Structure 1
């Protein structure tokens, strides 16, 4: 019997240091997120980061928390329900970190008699710190606890026409009536070394002005290329002229070389360049979360206006929009027929 497991990032149980600390520990101790030796990772995370970060992150989470809980969880559950109601096979929802574990999701499917699982990591672009860690943990769980289950991993959907159409339609709808000077595509940042590590050719990814536009097998697993491709296809559909949009990367950690240009630096410099009305879309996420709501809609908004900007609009993620849920449901239906 076939079934589907949808997996997103996860969230602390509450916006308090007590709950944020174990969540951050699980997240940052993941070898696919901070890819150094265990001892160095433990020293960095448990010896340095977790001394102050839980209080800071708890404060940030408190800014976006709703009566229903974490926005990421709330929107993911709503999307899950809509997809589940459109298909005739079991669909479970899990998170990579936190209490809604992948193991619980697989167990839920197993209890319904599922032996063939479509594993959909809810990240449009492939990255080691998002897609790979979900796939690796699912493989480990199947090998050790669910040997009767077979996994079918859905590749990154950054350029799938129905996803691009849903994303473009959502952006157009939300920006209706907002006469922006510039549309910024802000993607989650990752260390440059992650790009080189996932280069299957071991030589193509130079992270320069041409490698992402030069055809290569490396693009199947190249986050940077896939971000550029998502932007390019959405811009084409929306008919946005050259010069009225750009692409950046957000959420970097100090002490490493991350993908550039940086979102915060670019946004802070825009008013001086004559950009007074700014819209920002975050296409690396399908559900609004800390990075889209607190980092962009709140902090970036404040910084833009403090530097002379006048109007700022953060475009919501796809969340539980009907068109997006229909797209996922159609992927499930297509897969279940095979």
Structure 2
């Protein structure tokens, strides 16, 4: 029997500082999130971040926490349930961090008789800190606990025409009656060194503004290229005029160079330039979470208004959008019937 494991980021058990600290500890100690030697990661995370950040992060989580629980978890469960209604194969849900572990997800499927699993990281673009950390951990768990389980992972789907169509339709729907002079595509940021580490050619990526538009095998694992490509494809699909949209990167941590331009500074610059009506899209996520609901929808809005902006519109992630559910279901059926590749 075949089954599917959808995997998203994860969430603290509650917005209380002790639970947030536990979650941050697991997340930030991942060697693919903070990719420095273990001694340095211990010093940074356990010696500094976990002694300063949990209280502030807990306050941020409290602003967006729903009565049902973490928005990311609730929205992911809604997506899982709706996809399950569309397919005949068992569909489980797991998180890379937190109590909804990948091991539990595999166990749920195995208990239902599943022998082949489609591992589906819920990230359109490839990145060390998202897709790669999921697939690597999943393989380790398979080897240790489920050696007879066959796993096939879904690759990045950022440029799949049917995904771009679903994303564009969602954006069009949410902006239909809104005022906007500029549309900002904001993606989760990563350190520049992650881009170079993911370069399979070991020579293409130079973070110089040209390599992302120069054809290369490196693009298969280049997060920056894939983000820029989503912006280009969606803008082309929706016929956005040049100069009315741009791309930025949010959520930097530490003092190392991260992908530019930064979202907060871009919002500030646009406000100073006289943009009065702005819309912002976050296509690195398929489910709304702390970064979209608090960092963008609240903090970003505050920055924009402080700079003289009037209307700040945030476009929701795909979440459990009906077209997105149908597309996921189609991909799952395609894999189940012809287990070669998802397309």
Match of 1:223 in 2: 223
Match of 1:290 in 2: 290
Instruction: Measure, in 2, the Cα distance between the counterparts of 1:98 and 1:296.
Output: 23
Total equivalences in the alignment: 338
Helix, strand or coil for the counterpart of 1:297? helix
User: Once the 2 structures are TM-superposed, how far is the Cα of residue 263 of structure 1 from its aligned partner?
Assistant: 0.3
Instruction: Measure, in 1, the Cα distance between the counterparts of 2:118 and 2:87.
Output: 13
User: Once the 2 structures are TM-superposed, how far is the Cα of residue 179 of structure 1 from its aligned partner?
Assistant: 2.1
1:131 and 2:131 aligned: yes
Match of 1:81 in 2: 81
User: Once the 2 structures are TM-superposed, how far is the Cα of residue 220 of structure 1 from its aligned partner?
Assistant: 0.3
Instruction: Measure, in 1, the Cα distance between the counterparts of 2:263 and 2:190.
Output: 13
**CA displacement, residues 205-258 of structure 1 (integer Å, 9 cap, x when unaligned):** 011121001110000000000001111100011010100000000000121110
Match of 1:9 in 2: 9
Q: Which sections of structure 1, spanning at least 5 residues, go unmatched?
A: none
Match of 2:94 in 1: 94
Match of 1:24 in 2: 24
Helix, strand or coil for the counterpart of 1:15? coil
User: Once the 2 structures are TM-superposed, how far is the Cα of residue 23 of structure 1 from its aligned partner?
Assistant: 0.3
Instruction: Measure, in 1, the Cα distance between the counterparts of 2:11 and 2:218.
Output: 31
Instruction: Measure, in 1, the Cα distance between the counterparts of 2:52 and 2:285.
Output: 26
Match of 1:202 in 2: 202
Helix, strand or coil for the counterpart of 1:89? coil
* TM-score in terms of structure 2 length: 0.98
* TM-score in terms of structure 1 length: 0.99
Helix, strand or coil for the counterpart of 1:132? helix
Match of 1:104 in 2: 104
**CA displacement, residues 91-129 of structure 1 (integer Å, 9 cap, x when unaligned):** 100000000000000000100111111001000000000
Q: Which sections of structure 2, spanning at least 5 residues, go unmatched?
A: 339-343
Helix, strand or coil for the counterpart of 2:213? coil
1:179 and 2:179 aligned: yes
Instruction: Measure, in 2, the Cα distance between the counterparts of 1:227 and 1:269.
Output: 21
Helix, strand or coil for the counterpart of 2:211? coil
| Contact 2:92/2:108, CA 8 A, preserved across alignment | yes
**CA displacement, residues 283-314 of structure 1 (integer Å, 9 cap, x when unaligned):** 00000000000000000001100111111001
Instruction: Measure, in 2, the Cα distance between the counterparts of 1:92 and 1:65.
Output: 23
Pairwise mapping of residues 48-59 of structure 1 onto structure 2 (< 5 A)?
Answer: 48-59=48-59
Helix, strand or coil for the counterpart of 1:185? strand
